[in-house]
Structure formats: C-alpha cells, structure tokens
Structure 1
Amino acid sequence: MPHMVNPDISAVDLSRAIHLKQVSCQEVMQSTLARIARLNPQSNAIVSLQEPELLMAQARERDAQLARGESMGWMHGMPQAIKDLANAKGVRTTLGSPLMKDFVAPEDGLMVQRMKAAGAIVIGKTNTPEFGLGSHTFNEVFGPTRNAWNPGKSAGGSSGGAAVALAQRLLPVADGSDFMGSLRNPAGWNHVFGLRPSQGRVPMSPAQDVFVAQLPTEGPMARHVADLAMLLSVQAGAHPSSPLSLTQDPAVFAGSLASNPKGLRMGWLGNLQGYLPMEDGILDVCQAALNSFSGMGCSVDEARLGMPPEEIWRTWLVWRQALVGPRIAPFLLNPANRAHIKAEALWEHEQSLGLTGTQLLAASASRTRFYQSMLALFDQFDVLAIPVAQVWPFDVGLRWPQTVAGQSMDTYHRWMEVVIYATLAGLPSISVPAGFGQNGLPMGLALIGKPQGDWDLLKLAHAYEMANSDMIARRPPGV
C-alpha cells in the first residue's frame, strides 16, 4: 500500500520531505490524483487532467533524479495545474472559450517554464471564466467551478479553479493571474492566500504588448504565506522579453519571513466612507481581522483616498476597455465566432471601439495623479487595508450581481470596484483570510503595500498568519 501524503502539509514542508526522501514523488502524485478523483467531480476546479500513466512516469523520473543526487529545485516533484489562461506545452489552453477548446499549446509560457525548471510536474489546468473576464468561474467548455465551502456558491475568479484546488488540498501551491481582482477575490472567497505582485515583478511572456498592458499580472496562490513567497521566488525575475520587468533578485523571497510588526501604521480604507456598497457582515469580518493586527502592535486608523473614487472608476473603465477590447478583436475577424463569445466579452470589445488616443492619454494622466495620491497616503501609512470583495460568494448559477446592498450595478464588473486601487497604482496586494460570516462563507482582507514592497507585505501577512493559525487552518466541509 503506497504511503498517502498528508494533504494539510505545507508546500515548504512537502519540498523538504521529498528532498529528504521521507516521501517519494510517486507517492505525492498518487495521493494527489486520488484526492482529485474524490473531490474534483463536485468542485470542477481542475480541468484537462493529463493521463495518470504519463504523470506517474514523470514522478518516477523525479525520484530517479533524487536517487542520483540531482534536484531540479524547490518544486521538484510537485504536481501543478496551471491556470487555463497560461500556456503549458502539450496541454490544452482553452481560455474557457468554445473557440479555443481544442487548442494545444506548442510551448510553455515564461511562468510555466520557470515552474517546470524548478521541478514542477504539470498535471492539467485550473478552470477560469471565458477569456478570464468576470470574477466568477464558469464557461461553456468545462462548466462552473464551485466554491470549496459551499458548492452552491461561486468560487470567484478568474483564478477560481486555482483557489478551490488549494482549499480542497488538490495542489500544494497554485499560479493565478490578476487584472481586476482575479487572484485576490477567489483567494478571499475560498480561505487561502493570493498575492498580486508589484507591476513588473512576474513578467508575462509571450504577450501581445509589453509596454502598455501592465495592469494584468501573474502571481502566486497558497494556503500558507511561506509557500506563497517560495512560489514567488520561482515566478519572479526580470526577463529580456519583458523590458519593464523588475530587476530585483527573486531569491530574496526565499528568505526568512520572521518580523515584528509592532509600530507599523495601517490605513483602513473600508468602504471609502460609504462610497462602495457592501453586503452586510463583510466590514464586520474584516474589522475583526484588523483587530488582530492591532493586537500585534500595529496602529490602525481610517485612511481616505486622495482622489474622488468616481474619477478613479472612470479612469479604470478607459484602461480596462483599451486593454481588454483588443484581446477579443482577433476572435471577431470571423463574424461566425460572435455567436460563441459571451456577452460580457462582446461588450468590452464594443466599448473599446469608441476610445481615442486622446482619451487614453487623459486616462493615463489621471492614473498618474492617482498614483501620486497613493504615494501621499504612504507618507501616513506603511500599509493600506480594504475588503477583498463587496459581496459574499453568490449563487453559482448567477452570471454576476445586478445589485449590491440595494444599489444597481451599471457594468458586469462594477460589483468588484473595491479591487481596482492596487491594480491601477501598480502596487502589491495580498488577500489574507479574514474569517467567516454568519452564512459560514469565507471573506478576505486585502493588504496593499508600498511601491515594490512585496517582501514587506509578505512578512506582515506571515505575522498575521502566525497570530491566527487556528482560524486559517480551518478546512472546507468534506475535505
């Protein structure tokens, strides 16, 4: 009988156990596939699962390497499922679109290259909404991914499959990507950690544009902050194909996370003085998490954005449409494809057609003013905090919330307005588990760090995890 690996083991401890030969890569793979067979049929987190015989052969090779005294790196023998927006050679990249359902990637994307070079074994993909649009993971290729804590609820998105796979202990760590909270929202809704790195920290390649399109980024997700930091150390680092990528040595993220947050100044943005509608209970849960920071010696005071939120939203819309519309345009070169593209993606494309260069430059100037206003806030505070979502996980059959706290939403993504501030300023932001509402559903608290302050943010999140270990260790029902 093969040794079954403890599903709660951290990725850091799993890596150590593999390298000490306390557990074999084959046993890790067998345990992973067994859990996927048991739990994934209901959650639908992992898609395009590869043939078990192929995966076991790769695990045997990893064991043979260790027997020869060879290690590929920290992820040696770790099973990984890649978000279905990124290319993994020989595996389908569907983007959640029927138009792409049969596309098999001929090459690995840069992030996947780096994870494979560190020893990861790609077992398949994690589910995502069509073209990654909308913070709710459903599509016509694979269907919906269901929340790890309540299968009748949304997993969030667009990294919903990744977040649920982590919560259900199907993966030790996971990659995600984030434009409008796509990594942070599902982390918060499934009680795991997700880091949106600083702009340029994790270069995306191949990319259609490497100069203007800086708002989307790939990044790490995990159940533990130490695992998150280690995965970032693999994903990050400058690359010639991405001229604006950050040059800091990513090895820094493999260092000690020990720190004392006493005296750190936290600014609580809350609901922006009533501007952001939020469902009942969200602020209460996040406030309880803030009290934990106070208990660690941090000062927590109200913070106010130095720019009208409605102006920030209008700026966001221009940038969002300018970057998303051209991604949809190639699929519309064939008019017959229109019937196979979801309405929200068509709306993004249509909105982008009316944009002018003058509008984009004006939005760039507005974004610059917003960035400068955030810098001014960081003269007062070391870190900012804000809820990671404005609503609790909603019914899985709903496309998107039409109203929030009685207020109508005028776009399909307005209900996620709370996440745009870190993105627009290019700042690092980590979603940490804040706790649970009376409905039994999880919520996350987003911490926003200073420019390129990823490491300080990770250390703060680690201190919070240590102070709240029992709450963070809670498992979803049936897992």
Structure 2
Amino acid sequence: TKFANMKLGPTGTLPLSATAQPNNLLSLDAISLSDLIRTRRVKCVDLMNQTLTHMQHINPKLNAIVSIKSKKDLLEEARAADEHIDKGIYKGWLHGIPTALKDLSNAEGLPTTMGGSKLFSSQKQQNMDDSFVRRMRNEGAIFVGKTNAPEIGLGSHTFNEMFGCTSNPYDESKSAGGSSGGAAVSLSSRIFCLADGSDMMGSLRNPAGWNGIYSKRPTAGMISDEVDDDNDNETCRGENENKTEGKSLLLPYPISTPGPMARSPLDVAAFLQTMAGPKNFDASTVPSNPDVAATKIGWLADWSGAYPMEEGILPLCETTLHNVFENKDALDCHVEKISSALFDAKDLWYSWTTIRSRYLSDVLSEALGGLDKVLSPKVGDAVVKPEVLWEVERGLRITDQELQKAINIAGNWSNYVMADLFSKYDVCALPSAQVWPFDKHQRWPEVINGYKMEEYHRWMEIYIPVSLAGLPCVTIPAGYDEEGGLFMGLQLFGPRGSDSRLLSIAQAYHMIVNWPSKYPPLS
C-alpha cells in the first residue's frame, strides 16, 4: 500500500529480514492455506512435512512446542486428510492444517500438564477434548502437540521446570510473554498459522504484543472451555460440563476465557467462529476491507500515571495512534486522550486480585480434592512454584466481607465502563504491556521506571480493566523499540458484544501496516 514505508515506531527500520521467512507455505495466512488445500493445489502431507522440518530447525532454539507427536503419526494423519479430499470428503476450513494446543487445553490423545505442573504432569494422554478443541478437530485441524505455558498458567512469562523457558524469536535472550507464550511464538516464528490461547490477566494480550501478532480476548463467556458436551469424564483440571458451565461463581461471567491467535485479523475472526461456534460468532461480520473512519477511540495511556511504564512504550503507541488511526489518509479515526475522571486504579487492583486469588484457591482445591499437596507437601511429593503457593495462601485468607467488597467494585467498574467510557467512545486503547520483553532468566520485572513491583503480577496491572469487566479486546502490533527491534502492541477494547467491530478495526489497521508478515524474525 501507499503506507508501506510509513514510520510507525521511533525508527523506520528493523534489524529483521523479509527474506527470513522459512518458505512460502508457512508464511501464508490460514485462510489462504485452507483455500489451497480445499482446491487440491497443496497437499496436506507436503504442508505437514514443511511444518515438521521447520519446527525441527527452530523449536530447539525457541522451545515453543512441547509434547510433540511422532513424525510417523503426524504424516499418517496428513495423508489421511489428503485421501479424504480425494474422495470428496472435506471436513472444514481447518482440513489438514497443523497446529498445537496450549498446554492448559485438553485434547484426546495428548497429555495436559497444565504448564509442566508437578501436580498434573503424569503425561497421561487425555481421552476427551475441550469443547472448542472438538470443534477444531471437526473442522479438520491436525494437532501436532502442545504449546508451552507457565505452571498452572500463572504469570505472563512462559517457563516451567518440566519443559523450560520459551524464548522471544526477535531476541532469544528475552521473554516471549505468557501465559500463551508458546502459542504466540509458534505464530511469529512461522511454525503454525493459528494457535489457541487463553486469558485471565493478559495471557492472550501480552504475548501477542511481544511477538508482533494478533490475538482476541472475546467477550467473556463466548467460548466455553469446558469438556466436550458429549463427554462428562473429568479432565486433569477436575472439570466437567456439570461442574463448571464456564462460570466463575464470583462474577456474572467467566474470569478466564480461551481465545484465538494468528498473524492476521481475518484469520483470528475465522478461528473465533470455530472456537465459539457459529451461533456465538459469525466471521462474515468482519469484512476484508472495512471502513472504520470516524471511529471514536479513547486513549487511556498510563491511566493518568497510575501504571508505571518503561521508557519508549507510550511514545511508540501514541505515534501509531497518530500516524495510522488519526491520519486522514489512513484510518481517519478520532483519537482522544482520556486523562481525567478515571476509575480509581487502586480499587481495580484490589477487586481483581481479591477475586483472582479466591478463584484460584477454589479451583485448585476442587481439581485436587483439597489443597494438602499444595500447602503441606510430604518430602518428595509434588509442590508448586512460589507464585502459585502465594495465590492459594492469599485466597484462603480472604474473608467473605473482603470478597463482597471486591465484587461490588467489579460491578461499579462495569457500570462505569458503559456509563462513562463507552457512552463517549466506540473503543478504548491501552498499551499491550507496561514493560518491554525482559531477560528470560528473570521470573518477573521487579521494578518499572523506579517503582517496585511488590507482587509477581503487579507489572501486569494494565490488563485488569478488560478482565474485570469481561470485555472483548483485540491486540494489534503497534511497533518496535529503537534498539533491539522488540515489538510492543496495543489493546483495543470495547463494550461486551463488540467483537466484530474490534476485529474490523484490526483488519483495517492490518491492511496498512502488514505486520507481522512484513517483519518475520531472523531465526
């Protein structure tokens, strides 16, 4: 496009190469691949061979994919997919497309270790699919393995004792984000074209921003993460359809939600339809060439100074908002900075962390039949990482009065969102993180711009506004830092049910910047 060379970040070039793409097939978006397979111009077995060859080369460096099936079995699945097409049997748009599932998701024939947790790490293959996994399978997807995640999915940095740390493909010494870190890296490194993730407190948003891809946290409740409706066996999480129903019991919507990740918004939309089911989301509501002119965007920046930010993040995001969103020759949106009368960030923090800790202690207690293994492990028995133990112990200390106060604040925030924010703006924007990708050997950032982070997830505070109200959010790549070429993203979020509008804005943006296709990592 005429904007191909537009400077969107502090600098106009990246230390990356468009020639670094592994090959043409693996650089394609999912919709294009699907069309090539459906029309028999590409064989599923050829796509699988290229995927496995590239994965064998790149995965030892990045550690994105774990619990990988045998090459023999995967090639047999791909050949069977080709044979089905030869016989006129086409399962759906994911027919023959390889992907991997986040290691918190259940899939028949694959283990679910819950991020390498010693509590769930029997490596026993599951005998059922989560509901959205079953829909993916019915559409013809081939599951290569699992994508790496932190233990129990806690913390926005992907590492665990069983599988190790996942590296950022733009700088292998840096964090890839989390908890959907393996999923995001599998996309940015061109192993797969689609990957599922999940998000309680930024787990779809941070890794998308740091990997220069797109992710969608749907309106909470749109996608069920329960076991397949035809199977009431318990999963390793101790869940079944009668016990969970996708509800948190603390809020009127789920605290955590699965969601799609991809390298283009149209792929995200198509994948969201599959994950949620066509009754819950229709991908055709996201046009390929949307007109988003006059969209009113409220820029929340650092929440009037409440969220400490590393240097360079706010200027980069504001440059992108000005050069692309406000530019009359580009998207022609109206962007206004919101700097007064904001909801108290301290109240949001109190409410979210109180509800989260109680929720996590309740869920783990139910899954494990009590918390003895967590709180009082015998010598040699399974234990959890310190962050999990901290959450559980904190959750057990929370009084009913404290919990009710937190729930009341959450209700007030949801009311404020509709009465104050979305009465004035169509969507709101925040950076996708308060820090740049940090040294992967760190557990979490302990200081941001001089402010001490007292808890392991304090640096993730910027994800609370969306999570606490169950709002839909699309994360888009906003640009990269001056020195290292590390990506940062933007969170664009709207009122519940505005998923199509958010994806349309992301698609309009993608047509201009062409990220991440334009800048694949060197590795």
Q: What TM-score results when the alignment is normalised by the length of structure 1?
A: 0.94
> What are the within-5 Å matches in structure 2 for residues 221-260 of structure 1?
221-237=261-277, 248-253=279-284, 256-260=287-291
Q: 1:470 to 1:341 in 2, by over 3 A?
A: closer
Q: 2:492 aligns with which of 439, 447, 464?
A: 447
Is this contact kept in 2: 1:92–1:105, CA < 8 A? yes
SS of 1:401's equivalent in the other structure is coil
SS of 2:167's equivalent in the other structure is coil
Aligned residue identity for 1:416: M
Q: 1:402 aligns with which of 430, 437, 446?
A: 446
Aligned residues: 467
State the partner residue of 1:474.
Answer: 519
Residues of 1 paired with 2:62 and 2:225: CA distance? 28
State the partner residue of 2:350.
Answer: 314
Q: Is 1:286–2:317 an aligned residue pair?
A: yes
Residues of 2 paired with 1:339 and 1:98: CA distance? 5
Aligned residue identity for 2:422: F
State the partner residue of 1:244.
Answer: none
Q: Is 1:127–2:148 an aligned residue pair?
A: yes
State the partner residue of 2:305.
Answer: 274
Moved more, 463-472 or 78-87: 463-472
Moved more, 256-265 or 77-86: 256-265
SS of 1:336's equivalent in the other structure is coil
State the partner residue of 2:209.
Answer: 188
Residues of 1 paired with 2:280 and 2:106: CA distance? 25
Moved more, 165-174 or 339-348: 339-348
Q: Is 1:98–2:118 an aligned residue pair?
A: yes
Is this contact kept in 1: 2:286–2:501, CA < 8 A? no
Residues of 2 paired with 1:435 and 1:278: CA distance? 16
Shift of 1:254: 6.8
State the partner residue of 2:417.
Answer: 374
Shift of 1:10: 0.7
Residues of 1 paired with 2:364 and 2:389: CA distance? 8
Shift of 1:470: 5.9
Is this contact kept in 1: 2:154–2:388, CA < 8 A? yes
Task: Give unmatched runs, 5+ long, in structure 2.
Answer: 1-22, 228-238
Q: Is 1:297–2:332 an aligned residue pair?
A: yes
State the partner residue of 2:395.
Answer: 352
Moved more, 360-369 or 322-331: 322-331
Is this contact kept in 2: 1:82–1:126, CA < 8 A? yes
Aligned residue identity for 1:13: S
State the partner residue of 2:99.
Answer: 80
Q: Deviations over 1:246-291 (max 9, x none)?
A: xx54234575343211111000000011111000001111112211
Is this contact kept in 2: 1:233–1:253, CA < 8 A? no
Q: Is 1:61–2:100 an aligned residue pair?
A: no
Q: Is 1:19–2:38 an aligned residue pair?
A: yes
State the partner residue of 1:245.
Answer: none
Moved more, 355-364 or 83-92: 355-364
Shift of 1:237: 3.3
Q: 1:300 to 1:200 in 2, by over 3 A?
A: same
Q: 2:292 aligns with which of 238, 261, 264?
A: 261
Q: 1:141 aligns with which of 162, 179, 183?
A: 162
Q: Is 1:30–2:74 an aligned residue pair?
A: no
Structural RMSD (CA): 1.7
Q: 2:505 aligns with which of 448, 457, 460?
A: 460
Aligned residue identity for 1:188: G
SS of 2:76's equivalent in the other structure is helix
Q: What TM-score results when the alignment is normalised by the length of structure 2?
A: 0.86
Aligned residue identity for 2:345: P
SS of 1:380's equivalent in the other structure is coil
Shift of 1:472: 5.3
Q: Deviations over 1:102-138 (max 9, x none)?
A: 2321211111101001100111000000000000000
Structure with the higher helix share, 1 or 2: 1
Q: 1:114 aligns with which of 129, 135, 142?
A: 135
Is this contact kept in 1: 2:226–2:244, CA < 8 A? no
SS of 2:261's equivalent in the other structure is strand
Residues of 2 paired with 1:54 and 1:254: CA distance? 37
Q: 1:209 aligns with which of 240, 244, 263?
A: 244
SS of 2:88's equivalent in the other structure is coil
Residues of 1 paired with 2:318 and 2:337: CA distance? 12
Residues of 1 paired with 2:454 and 2:127: CA distance? 40
Q: Deviations over 1:198-220 (max 9, x none)?
A: 01111110345333251100000
Q: 1:5 to 1:68 in 2, by over 3 A?
A: farther
Residues of 2 paired with 1:322 and 1:182: CA distance? 19
Is this contact kept in 1: 2:263–2:516, CA < 8 A? no
Is this contact kept in 2: 1:465–1:472, CA < 8 A? no
Task: Give unmatched runs, 5+ long, in structure 1.
Answer: 239-247
Residues of 2 paired with 1:386 and 1:204: CA distance? 27
Moved more, 95-104 or 32-41: 95-104
State the partner residue of 1:150.
Answer: 171
Moved more, 55-64 or 342-351: 55-64
Residues of 2 paired with 1:472 and 1:277: CA distance? 31
